[in-house]
Amino acid sequence: MSAHTGRHFLQIPGPTNVPDRVLRAIDRPTIDHRGPEFQKLGHAVLDGMRAIFKTRGMVVIYPASGTGAWEAALVNTLSPGDRVLMYETGHFATLWRRMAGRLGLEVDFIPGDWRRGADPEAIEARLKDDRAHAIKAVCVVHNETSTGAVTRVPEVRRALDRSAHPALLMVDTISSLASIDYRMDEWGVDVTVGGSQKGLMLPPGLSFNAVNDKALAAAKSARLPRAYWNWDEMLTANQAGFFPYTPATNLLYGLREALDMLQEEGLENVFARHARHAEATRRAVRAWGLDILCADPAEYSNALTALVMPDGHDADHVRNVILERFDMSLGAGLGKLKGKVFRIGHLGHFNDLMLAGTLCGVEMGLALAGVPIRKGGVQVALDYLAAPVTGGVHTATAVA
Ligand X SMILES: Cc1ncc(COP(=O)(O)O)c(C=O)c1O
Q: Could you say whether residue 172 binds ligand X (CB under 6 A)?
A: yes
What's the closest the beta carbon of residue 219 comes to ligand X, in angstroms?
21
Q: Could you say whether residue 175 binds ligand X (CB under 6 A)?
A: yes
User: 353-365 burial string, b = 16+ CB within 10 Å, else e?
Assistant: ebbbbbbbbbbbb
What's the closest the beta carbon of residue 175 comes to ligand X, in angstroms?
4
> Closest Cα partner for 106 from 117, 114, 118, 97?
97
Q: Which residue lies nearer to ligand X by CB, 198 or 283?
A: 198
What's the closest the beta carbon of residue 331 comes to ligand X, in angstroms?
9
Stretch that binds ligand X, among 21-29, 80-88, 172-180, 278-286 (CB under 6 A): 172-180
Q: Which residue lies nearer to ligand X by CB, 78 or 93?
A: 93
Q: Which residue lies nearer to ligand X by CB, 145 or 163?
A: 145
One of 17, 55, 145, 212 touching ligand X (CB under 6 A):
145
CA angle at 26 for the pair 20 and 28, rounded to the nearest 5°? 115
What's the closest the beta carbon of residue 31 comes to ligand X, in angstroms?
26
Residue 262 to residue 270: CA distance in whole angstroms? 7
List, in sequence order, every residue forming a beta bridge with 9; answer none if it has no partner: 328
Q: Which residue lies nearer to ligand X by CB, 195 or 348?
A: 195
One of 19, 57, 63, 195 touching ligand X (CB under 6 A):
195
Q: Could you say whether residue 194 binds ligand X (CB under 6 A)?
A: no
Q: Could you say whether residue 247 binds ligand X (CB under 6 A)?
A: no
**Contact letters for ligand X, residues 209-238 (x by CB under 6 A):** ------------------------------
C-beta separation of 247 from 340 below 8 A: no
Q: Which residue lies nearer to ligand X by CB, 14 or 112?
A: 14
C-beta separation of 284 from 377 below 8 A: yes
Q: Which residue lies nearer to ligand X by CB, 271 or 384?
A: 271
Q: Could you say whether residue 153 binds ligand X (CB under 6 A)?
A: no
DSSP result, 93-124: HHHHHHHHHHTT-EEEEE---SSS---HHHHH
What φ, ψ does residue 343 adopt, rounded to 5°? -120, 135
Residue 86 to residue 100: CA distance in whole angstroms? 10
- Strands in the chain per DSSP E: 9-11, 58-62, 83-87, 106-110, 135-141, 143-144, 149-150, 168-172, 191-195, 207-211, 291-292, 304-308, 328-332, 341-345, 389-390, 393-394
Stretch that binds ligand X, among 63-71, 244-252, 321-329, 357-365 (CB under 6 A): 63-71
Q: Give the 3-state secondary structure of residue 12.
A: coil
Q: Could you say whether residue 11 binds ligand X (CB under 6 A)?
A: no
One of 38, 92, 208, 326 touching ligand X (CB under 6 A):
92
Q: Could you say whether residue 141 binds ligand X (CB under 6 A)?
A: yes
Residue 338 to residue 335: CA distance in whole angstroms? 6
- Footprint of ligand X (CB under 6 A): 14, 65-67, 92, 141, 145, 172, 174-175, 195, 204
